[in-house]
């Protein structure tokens, strides 16, 4: 199993949906897309093994991969959609939902984000009127100087946890925590169009994309950067994105029409030899 299959607890979510017993999920025979992606579905320079399946969210990703000479794609939709199937009660709006959850663009273990968090605070104050929750990724959350910028502005500051790396420290409930937090709000926003914005919009939250997009340290040019995203989807890069436009885009990019049956997932992932939970 490629270690990225575990990111955000995705492998655990898929195993639960497929009806497998609780515990560590068995090996997925292939590569599972772990985040919204504007290229072939995977991180730059992923070392694909010839013939191994690539499980991606949408047909747009598959088509881009094919244009690059990649093959063995299966479009199955995002793990987020399977999470909603596993926890249908959380797919409904919370009665006391209020305010905005904002996701600043984040780095990871190998690349830092370069930018001014104070400018993000100023943008949030310009566009938001209700209570604001700022969700930082763990490495920014543990940086006290970054966290205090948002706390000093009076925002509630949280983290969903650690996504995992090389099969270590994976928080299997990462995405479930994200779902529960998003459900507490009526609006989702970020300084970049991202997975989190799509997740919120998929649940009917009013989305917004605004503020300094920041830079990713040594970002590879193959993805085209923010210029490409803004050129392709200008209507989604504004403080208040019309919900009908957001939902059409979100449904396509998350792969709503491509959800597989639990038995199909067991077959695709080669989990057929694993006993199904009773």
**Are 258 and 59 in contact, with CB atoms under 8 Å apart?**
yes
What are 215-236's pLDDT values in tens digits? 765 566 666 677 888 899 999 9
Phi, psi of 19 (to 5 degrees): 85, 20
Sign (positive or negative) of CA dihedral 278, 20, 178, 228: negative
pTM over 0.85: yes
| Beta-bridge mates of residue 74 | 55
**Are 260 and 5 in contact, with CB atoms under 8 Å apart?**
no
**Are 83 and 13 in contact, with CB atoms under 8 Å apart?**
yes
pLDDT above 90: residue 121: yes
Residue 72 C-alpha from the chain's centroid: 23
Ramachandran quadrant class, 78 (left: phi over 0; alpha: psi -120 to 50; beta: rest): beta
What are 8-57's pLDDT values in tens digits? 999 999 999 999 998 889 999 999 999 999 989 998 778 899 999 999 99
**Are 18 and 277 in contact, with CB atoms under 8 Å apart?**
no
- Coil vs helix vs strand at 249: helix
Domain boundaries, the chain: 3-88+255-268, 94-246
Residues in the chain: 278
How much is the average pLDDT of 120-142?
94
- Coil vs helix vs strand at 109: coil
What fold does the segment set 94-246 form as a domain?
Rossmann fold (3.40.50)
pLDDT of residue 171: 86
C-alpha angle 213-178-48 in degrees, rounded to nearest 5: 70
Residue 266 to residue 154: CA distance in whole angstroms: 46
């Amino acid at each position: 199993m490629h270690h990225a299959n575990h990111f955000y607890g995705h492998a655990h979510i898929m195993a639960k949906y497929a009806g497998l017993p609780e515990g560590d999920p068995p090996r997925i025979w292939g590569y599972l897309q772990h985040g919204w992606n504007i290229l072939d579905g995977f991180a730059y320079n992923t070392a694909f093994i010839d013939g191994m399946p690539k499980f991606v969210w949408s047909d747009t990703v598959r088509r881009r991969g094919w244009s690059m000479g990649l093959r063995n794609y299966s479009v199955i939709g995002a793990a987020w959609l399977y999470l909603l199937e596993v926890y249908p009660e959380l797919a409904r709006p919370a009665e006391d939902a209020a305010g905005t959850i904002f996701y600043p663009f984040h780095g990871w273990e190998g690349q830092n984000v370069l930018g001014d968090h104070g400018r993000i605070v100023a943008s949030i104050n310009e566009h938001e009127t209700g209570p604001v929750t700022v969700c930082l990724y763990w490495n920014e959350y543990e940086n006290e100087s970054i966290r205090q910028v948002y706390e000093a502005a009076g925002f509630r500051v949280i983290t969903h946890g650690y996504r995992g790396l090389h099969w270590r420290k994976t928080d299997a409930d990462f995405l479930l925590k994200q779902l529960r937090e998003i459900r507490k709000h009526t609006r989702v926003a970020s300084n970049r169009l991202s997975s989190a914005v799509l997740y919120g919009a998929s649940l009917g939250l009013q989305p917004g994309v605004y503020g300094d997009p920041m830079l990713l340290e040594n970002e590879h040019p193959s993805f085209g950067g923010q210029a490409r995203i803004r050129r392709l989807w200008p209507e989604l890069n504004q403080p208040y994105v019309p919900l009908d436009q957001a939902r059409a885009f979100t449904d396509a990019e998350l792969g709503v029409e491509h959800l597989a049956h639990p038995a199909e997932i067991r077959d695709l992932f080669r989990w057929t030899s694993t006993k199904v939970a009773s």
